[in-house]
Amino acid sequence: MHRALTGAACCAAAALALAATTASAPASAVTYSCGGLYTDYVGALVLDTPFVGTAVLDGVSRAMTVAPVKVNDNMLSVEIVTAGQSRQTTADFEVRTDTTGRGQIFFSSYSGEGVSTNLICASGTRVTSITGMVATQDGPAEFTVTRT
């Protein structure tokens, strides 16, 4: 079961909405779409490129990188730079899908967890942009990370 996002009740609504739609569909109805499989984030045959962007809390931007660790494996390295200090964690991530097969990603950060609220796939199912909320030492921050 997914652990609660430390200090960030803001993400619970997104997770509950996805869980509600996931529970109502039979498994046979799911055709995977944007971000519905963990390989859409890390790569199936070769290691995919990292996502880079920012996490913003109270108007302060923090550099953020979400990088695949292994090919065809559900592990990510998440780094957030706060006040000149880089904080990083490497851990497994979880993908949940709704009735359309669209994914939502849950991952660890140095201060708790992060959850996506929107994914963009340029073509096919490979994720090129993730928007969501991530725990930081100062509270939950909105983030957007992208890759080409």
What pLDDT does residue 16 have?
41
d(CA 106, CA 112): 11
What pLDDT does residue 28 have?
53
Determine what percent of the chain falls in helix, strand and coil, rounding each to the nearest 5.
15, 50, 35
What pTM does this model have?
Answer: 0.80
Residues forming beta bridges with residue 105, ordered by sequence position: 95
What pLDDT does residue 25 have?
43
| Integer angstrom CA distances of residue 130 from 23, 24, 120, 140 | 23, 25, 7, 16
The closest of 76, 75, 51 to 64, measured between CA atoms, is 51
What pLDDT does residue 19 have?
46
The predicted-structure confidence for 96-120, as pLDDT tens digits, reads as follows 998 888 999 999 999 999 999 999 9
d(CA 27, CA 38): 17
What pLDDT does residue 122 have?
85
d(CA 78, CA 143): 12
Q: Show the low-confidence residues of the chain (pLDDT under 50).
A: 1-10, 12-27
